Amino acid sequence: DGGITQSPKYLFRKEGQNVTLSCEQNLNHDAMYWYRQDPGQGLRLIYYSQIVNDFQKGDIAEGYSVSREKKESFPLTVTSAQKNPTAFYLCASTAGGELFFGEGSRLTVL
């Protein structure tokens, strides 16, 4: 089945550690997105990519980094510079219509 796979589903991290969230899609979509959701809030755009080897900062990119070396993959690194990293992270892809989401990764910083 085609879809988006995010891993890990749950992740705990100590303060000061970097962590990388994986996002893989087999939908052959060019565009991919990373969003962050805090409790009771909507989704806020972190980074997005229109095509391989290209990506743009979203509204809350500080403390995050991404790469887009392959069409299928768009990993997100949460660095120690991100002051409040505990959140629900959602990856999505699209061919220009519907956004398809992964099941999300819940990051908790201890």
Interaction site with other proteins (CB under 8 A): 29-31, 33, 35, 41-45, 48-51, 56, 58-59, 88, 90, 94-99, 101-104
Q: Which is nearer to other proteins, 58 or 75 (CB)?
A: 58
Distance CA 63, CA 74 (A): 16
Distance CA 36, CA 52 (A): 22
Q: Which is nearer to other proteins, 35 or 64 (CB)?
A: 35
Distance CA 93, CA 66 (A): 15
Q: To the nearest whole angstrom, how small is the minimum distance from the Cβ of residue 94 to other proteins?
A: 5
